[in-house]
Amino acid sequence: MMAGELQTSGHDDRRVCSEPNRPDPQRLLSPAFVSADPRVLQALELVRQVADTNATVLILGETGTGKELIARTIHCHSRRNAVPLVAVNCGAIAESLQESELFGHARGAFTGATTERTGRFELAHRGTIFLDEISEMSPAMQVKLLRILQSGEYSPVGVSDTRVCDVRVVAATNADPRTLIDSRQFRKDLYYRLNIIRLEIPPLRQRKDDIPLLVEHFLRRFGDEYHKPQLELSGRVWDLLQQHDYPGNVRELENIVQRAVILCRDARIEVHHLPSEIVQRRSESPEMVSTTFHDAKNRVIEDFERAFLTSLLQICGGIISRAAERSGLSERNFHAKLRKYGIDSRSARA
């Protein structure tokens, strides 16, 4: 957890920082954002410098790289952290509802508006609002966002008077803003308003040296959560994790490790605890030609047998006799293969 512990506040799904308003800036680079990559460390140093200012921040990076974690770090180490961070996923809101969601509406403002609604900007007054996937915001909303960035002024839907809020904006996108500007999907003047401080988080496939650090971090975290301390990874698992490209980035690696910890019944995580697509992609990788034909062939066969046996056991509810019959192998041979690959039928029953 980062230095500015994030806690759930009652039944509110927003989060607040438990740290006082002016934390020691030296505590900012916490172990929550695990990286040894120079580009990431440079971005985190910039976070340290700008956190306790009112500067608008634009975070660029693929899905799963940790953009919201960066936004929460900025908020937690600012003077605005007494107010909960308000996070909004612009891509998850229908275009027709974006204005109401962000600025609120009066009762009867439109069909279905049976009660008055407080907008996200008003909820974030004197705090920070995080606008994720801002590139998905409609052109009409981009104009209104530009207005609030310039003057702090806005009007709820169905309300004639102008209101003012004091909100710091942190925005993020997984798209290239310049490409969106060229295609007229994103306003140039809004981009320049948002781009006061620009942070770019590289994808995990471009910082492979971070994979061991992240794996160890997630192993400790999920090992504690599921009461399985001191779990180890086999050499083949390390090899597969290092070779994977992670289209889902750090979030994907986190899910992979969590799944493996849950499925593992012994002290060591093996290949059959990994998702089958990782094993299959590795088997099809051009990197396989760097070894001998015999070794590469054996690896492919081993990966296939592990995945096949594990899947069949899951289908058969962990009943070995039934799985052996469906596989066409004798029960004795089936048992031998399970022992060879360290597959525990109890995990399939679970």
pLDDT, mean of each 10-residue run, the chain (350 residues): 33 39 38 82 94 96 94 94 94 88 80 79 95 93 93 86 93 92 93 95 94 94 93 91 93 96 92 87 51 68 78 82 87 85 67
* One-letter amino acid of 253: L
Residue 20 burial class via C-beta count within 10 angstroms: exposed 0-12, middle 13-18, buried 19 and up: exposed
Please report the pLDDT score of residue 338 as a whole number. Answer: 84
Q: How many CA atoms lie within 13 A of 192 on its CB side?
A: 4
CA pair distance 119, 126, nearest whole angstrom: 14
The encoded tokens of residue 116 equal 């008055």
Contact 178, 217 (CB under 8 A): no
8-state DSSP, 16 = E
Please report the pLDDT score of residue 309 as a whole number. Answer: 83
Q: At what angle do helices 235-243 and 210-225 cross, to 10 degrees?
A: 120
CATH class of the domain comprising 207-349: mainly alpha
CATH of 6-202, one of 3.30.565.10, 3.30.1380.20, 1.10.760.10, 3.40.50.300: 3.40.50.300
Three-class SS of 262-284? HHCCCCEECHHHCCHHHHHHHHC
CA pair distance 58, 49, nearest whole angstrom: 15
Phi-psi region of 57 (alpha: psi -120 to 50; beta: other; left: phi over 0): beta
Please report the pLDDT score of residue 15 as a whole number. Answer: 38
Domain boundaries, the chain: 6-202, 207-349
Please report the pLDDT score of residue 23 as a whole number. Answer: 39
β-strands 153-154, 163-164 pairing: antiparallel
Please report the pLDDT score of residue 296 as a whole number. Answer: 65
CA pair distance 336, 319, nearest whole angstrom: 15
Strand partners, 168: 128
